[in-house]
Amino acid sequence: MEQTHIEARPRTCIRTRSSARAAGWMTAAALVLAGTLSGCAVVDRSSAPQLSKTDTWALLPLANNTETPQAGQRAASIAQSLMTSYGYTNLARYPASSDDETLFDPAKPDQQQAALTWARQQNAHYALTGAVNEWRYKVGVDGEPAVGITFDVIDVQSGKVIWSGTGSRTGWSRDAVSGVAQKLERELLSQLAH
């Protein structure tokens, strides 16, 4: 039997300008597509001051400016989880009453002041509060989730807002409102993670 010997030669890759240009266009197209598929978001934030994660923090109620019952409590729950994951170890959440945010109750303007008084009693240095301005599925064929949230960090002793962020985000019809809210809240609060 005759044995055949085949010599293996390394393959060389010759890249031309046109193939490099095409690769660049494909990368750019992929980034645009990825941005398009992730839903739309608009976020505005002030510069984050130096905040200590070991100071005592209070999570105060988020005003529910929507027609969705308990949207403020839902958003606050996500915010609490995110702040804890960012390393805020001394975070106390304002206790919700059983009648908070029922669908037909009018807004309670004195609730924010009562919550701030509670935060002072807890010796909190900072408080996270804000408002939920949208929390729904849009009407239409696709039923896309839409969320709008504003956060404020308050110096508890002075009552002054020292940081603020607001944003809105939509998702696709397969997304849950809570998932869209979590993405938005993560983006809004990311400055506090450092």
Residues 11-23 pLDDT 10s: 444 444 555 565 5
**Residues 118-142: what's their mean pLDDT?**
94
Residues 148-164 pLDDT 10s: 999 999 999 999 999 99
pLDDT score of 103: 54
* DSSP per-residue letters across the chain: -PPP------------HHHHHHHHHHHHHHHHHHHHHT--EEEEEPPPPP--TTS-EEEEEEEE-SSSTTHHHHHHHHHHHHHHHTT--SEEEPPPPTTTT-TTPPP-TTHHHHHHHHHHHTT-SEEEEEEEEEEEEPSSSS--EEEEEEEEEEETTT--EEEEEEEEEE--TTS-HHHHHHHHHHHHHGGGG-
pLDDT score of 135: 97
**Residues 172-179: what's their mean pLDDT?**
94
Superfamily of domain 39-193: ABC-type transport auxiliary lipoprotein component (3.40.50.10610)
Most confident of the following: 11-20, 77-86, 93-102 = 77-86
pLDDT at 3 over 60: no
Bigger pLDDT: 154 vs 8: 154
pLDDT at 108 over 80: no
pTM score, two decimals?
Answer: 0.77
Domains in the chain: boundaries = 39-193
pLDDT at 166 over 50: yes
pLDDT score of 99: 59
pLDDT score of 23: 56
Lowest mean pLDDT segment, chosen from 14-18, 36-40, 54-58: 14-18
pLDDT at 6 over 50: no
- The mean of the pLDDT values for the chain is 83
pLDDT at 105 over 50: no
